[in-house]
Structure 1
Amino acid sequence: MSVRMDSKLVVEQMSGRWQVKHPDMKPLARQAGELAAGFERVDYTWIPRAENSHADRLANEAMDGQPTNLTAPAPTTVAVKTEKQESAPVSPGWTGALGKPTRMLLLRHGQTALSVERRYSGRGNPELTELGLSQARAAAKRIGERGGITAVLASPLGRARQTAEAVAAELSLPVRVHEGLIETDFGDWEGLTFGEASARDPELHRRWISDTSVRPPGGESFDEVRARIERARDDLMAEFPGANLLLVSHVTPIKTLLQMALDVGPSLLYRLHLDLASLSIAEFYPDGGASVRLVNDTSHL
């Protein structure tokens, strides 16, 4: 899809380079972004208004309810070549990625009692709170209205499955559990706050928050999480090539998928914030390319 328009502001906002600040424009920008996400690729091009007068006139006539003449004005000059002209190769996009990507909509589960208290919540299995259930329903409504999802996959933990079931009901799809989407195993730090874990194992905790190879006591390192997330991504790309998938998971798996799509270092794991029931979107191409379309969107809440 190629979009050409004479609004520099809208082109830059839809391209993700400028923020949408006006409160009345935010819901419109979200709706436009969701529509754009349904296409394999959308390119936005700014056309100076002086070069866009015919389209501008048609748009104004349509809004005013006037009859429109769809015939474009004749060009002032015509260049004719008698020799055979070679067609320009079609660009695969500025990223250079080829093929149709597997698009992964990454939904974090809703609120639990442990998330309220900001405690490490890995392999424990707290249920969603009433607010968490409400968050799941709000996400379900948004994704259900968007549609176009081939499969719903969830972590085996209850909070993710509860969230996934709400969305799957809107989509009339079953929930498939994927073990690879489970949260980090925090071991002996499970249920502790940041301060409590730091006080219990000060030296180990200090190293853990800066070194992805360090494990919590009895737990799992972020490097080990990445290895299983890579396997999960590869499995899903092989099973669902070019499809739109909803993955309902947790902070670390979602951050890891975004880190992989962006091809950035481990600092993202420590610096990126993901809200409860937030939506992110990453795309992975068959040639190894990747892109991120959305991060930590909570406009549905």
Structure 2
Amino acid sequence: MSVARQVVVEADGGSRGNPGPAGYGAVVIDPATGEPLAEAAEYIGVATNNVAEYRGLIAGLTAAKALFPDAGDALRVHVRMDSKLVVEQMSGRWKIKHPDMKPLAARAAAILPPSSVTYEWIPRAQNKHADRLANEAMDAGRDGRTWEASASTAALDTPSARTASAPPPVQGPPGDQAAGAARARAALAAARGAAAPEGLFPMPGAQEPEPPVEAAPVTGAAAPAAEPSAAPGAEPSEAPVASAPEPSTARVAPAPEPSATPVASAPEPTATPQTGWGSAPDLGAPATLVLLRHGETALTPQKRFSGSGGTDPELSPTGRDQAERAAAHFAALGTVQEIVSSPLRRCRETAAAVAARLGLDVHVDEGLRETDFGAWEGLTFGEVRERHGDDLTAWLASPDAAPTGGGESFAEVAGRVAAARDRIVARYAGRTVLLVTHVTPIKTLVRLALGAPPEALFRMELSAASISTVAYYGDGNASVRLLNDTSHLR
């Protein structure tokens, strides 16, 4: 008869962008001592937070089973995760609606008999070991490295918190649990070789709007913006942004032996605060607005004011090429689910190029049109200064001042852009939406997301056909993830 065995698995996953560079971490723990028996971590390329969480669970269960290959049905695994989505779905209390989650849940459920596994939701603060492993894996992927257990500091987390809440242990032969770590490593390696390619999971479409899922950690996603040389509506120059690293290979290794000498806890990895961190860990997938500025027109290289009250120019040959490059970029990513455009011709032509590549329809929202620059339409900044100097000075000094000849103030533009944002976020909750629009609407969306003052509009640069990204969460917060990315144009 098999000797009963009991272990705790803690697992976590994260995505710096949701979807974005992602990784998972898992640790198998001795419930009697709280000490780690085996660790697993992997950078999995671009994926969502939910995919990373499930991958962590799969790795943890695989490692636990490999520790006790002869235990059979006598093995008992208590899984502890801070993802309510995974815990509730695997416990059978929530339905699994999203097609990309179903195969992951099936893989996890097939590793051990359902009667052998129990699930518990824990606060993020109690999941530090797995969280640190996931962040180490993402850091390694960012740097083009493979996660190595020898460089990990995750095992320095104090085990006492785990032991206090772990289920009562079932004892086995002395030394048997620690000896199984090599088997765990071999089992995980074999699982990766036998299954479908796992370095990059298929990109999920919309995340489930209910039950709620976790907001994604956002670290290092946005590039700094360059200082502008012209006012909003005029045409700035490019600012290149580096691309993401290629995914690396997973590693699993025995956890380091505990030291007899007390060791101070290592500091937590530094990261940009996650939107929605606090008492409620599950906010639902954000509505992600990908902001694409239209391609060049004949007025763009001349740096002339080109708003909604002028000639409505078409794309130039350069602009059409930029639109095609943007279309190829989004086709390669495969993340855009909806397209909404400004009604102006240059945006509709840019949106049409992307829509043709993605097989999507283009919806038009009047709120995304450029500012009406009144009598300044078609003029350069210098020409406006020469002809309407006092009006220009007032416009630069106050968001309530309108351009000469009945144009729109930035305060008016902010009002209609915010209304358009609210419509789009409500309509496409949890989805990734491409907005093809103009300089001022994009800068306004970024400014509002950051809570920055109106004068911040003059401190951002947006190149033609550049990409910026803002995510909007269920608690009303927003996260700017990217600004003025032109890497797809090179």
Above 0.5 in TM-score?
yes
Asked whether the 8 Å contact 1:34–1:146 carries over to 2, the reply is: no
Q: What are the equivalent positions in structure 2 for 1:155-234 lying under 5 Å apart?
A: 155-217=342-404, 218-234=406-422
Residue type of the partner of 1:189?
W
1:35 is displaced (CA, Å) by: 2.1
- Point out the structure with max Rg over C-alpha: 2
For 2:295 and 2:306, the matched residues in 1 are separated by 13
Please give the secondary structure, in 2, of the residue aligned with 1:156: coil
What's 2:341 paired with? 154
For 1:250-271, what per-residue CA distance to the aligned partner results, in whole angstroms no more than 9, with x for missing partners?
Answer: 0000000111111111122011
Call closer, same or farther: CA 1:226–1:33 in 2, change over 3 Å. Answer: farther
Call closer, same or farther: CA 1:71–1:143 in 2, change over 3 Å. Answer: closer
What's 2:288 paired with? 103
What's 1:21 paired with? none
For 1:73 and 1:120, the matched residues in 2 are separated by 63
Call closer, same or farther: CA 1:212–1:34 in 2, change over 3 Å. Answer: farther
Please give the secondary structure, in 2, of the residue aligned with 1:133: helix
Call closer, same or farther: CA 1:177–1:73 in 2, change over 3 Å. Answer: same
What's 2:458 paired with? 270
What's 2:147 paired with? none
Aligned: 1:73 with 2:254: yes
For 2:320 and 2:420, the matched residues in 1 are separated by 27
TM-score after normalising by structure 1:
0.75
For 1:180-229, what per-residue CA distance to the aligned partner results, in whole angstroms no more than 9, with x for missing partners?
Answer: 00000000100000011111111110121231110002100000000001
What's 1:287 paired with? 475
Asked whether the 8 Å contact 1:99–1:287 carries over to 2, the reply is: no
Asked whether the 8 Å contact 2:275–2:473 carries over to 1, the reply is: no
For 1:118 and 1:74, the matched residues in 2 are separated by 59
1:144 is displaced (CA, Å) by: 1.2
Aligned: 1:45 with 2:135: yes
For 1:222 and 1:211, the matched residues in 2 are separated by 8
For 1:64-107, what per-residue CA distance to the aligned partner results, in whole angstroms no more than 9, with x for missing partners?
Answer: xxxxxx87436746xxxxxxxxxxxxxxx633263321100000
Residue type of the partner of 1:250?
H
Question: How many aligned residue pairs are there?
Answer: 254
Residue type of the partner of 1:102?
A
Call closer, same or farther: CA 1:179–1:50 in 2, change over 3 Å. Answer: closer
Please give the secondary structure, in 2, of the residue aligned with 1:126: coil
For 1:221-244, what per-residue CA distance to the aligned partner results, in whole angstroms no more than 9, with x for missing partners?
Answer: 000000001100111111111110
What's 1:66 paired with? none
What CA RMSD, in Å, does the superposition of the two structures yield over aligned residues? 3.4
User: Between the two proteins, what is the percent identity of the paired residues?
Assistant: 46
For 1:3 and 1:234, the matched residues in 2 are separated by 27
Asked whether the 8 Å contact 2:136–2:152 carries over to 1, the reply is: no
For 2:296 and 2:50, the matched residues in 1 are separated by 33
Please give the secondary structure, in 2, of the residue aligned with 1:35: strand
Please give the secondary structure, in 2, of the residue aligned with 1:107: strand
Please give the secondary structure, in 2, of the residue aligned with 1:209: helix
For 1:113 and 1:148, the matched residues in 2 are separated by 31
1:46 is displaced (CA, Å) by: 3.9
| Range with greater deviation from structure 2 (220-229 or 207-216) | 207-216
TM-score after normalising by structure 2:
0.47
Call closer, same or farther: CA 1:34–1:222 in 2, change over 3 Å. Answer: farther
Aligned: 1:258 with 2:446: yes
Call closer, same or farther: CA 1:144–1:164 in 2, change over 3 Å. Answer: same
Q: Structure 2 residue aligned with 1:2, among 4, 9, 13?
A: 13
What's 1:89 paired with? none
Asked whether the 8 Å contact 1:40–1:100 carries over to 2, the reply is: no
For 1:176 and 1:183, the matched residues in 2 are separated by 17
Unaligned runs of 5+ in 2: 1-11, 16-20, 23-42, 53-130, 138-149, 156-180, 190-250, 259-272, 278-282
Asked whether the 8 Å contact 2:294–2:346 carries over to 1, the reply is: yes
Residue type of the partner of 1:100?
A
Asked whether the 8 Å contact 2:304–2:378 carries over to 1, the reply is: yes
For 1:216 and 1:246, the matched residues in 2 are separated by 29
Higher RCO, 1 vs 2 (CA within 8 Å, ≥6 residues apart): 1
Residue type of the partner of 2:290?
L
For 2:456 and 2:252, the matched residues in 1 are separated by 52
Aligned: 1:299 with 2:480: no
Aligned: 1:121 with 2:306: yes
Call closer, same or farther: CA 1:175–1:33 in 2, change over 3 Å. Answer: farther
For 1:90-127, what per-residue CA distance to the aligned partner results, in whole angstroms no more than 9, with x for missing partners?
Answer: xxx63326332110000000001111110000013111
Please give the secondary structure, in 1, of the residue aligned with 2:356: helix
For 2:410 and 2:425, the matched residues in 1 are separated by 22
What's 1:236 paired with? 424
Residue type of the partner of 1:2?
G
1:50 is displaced (CA, Å) by: 5.3
1:273 is displaced (CA, Å) by: 0.3
Residue type of the partner of 2:417?
I
For 1:12-36, what per-residue CA distance to the aligned partner results, in whole angstroms no more than 9, with x for missing partners?
Answer: xx79xxxxxxxxxxxxxxxx99925
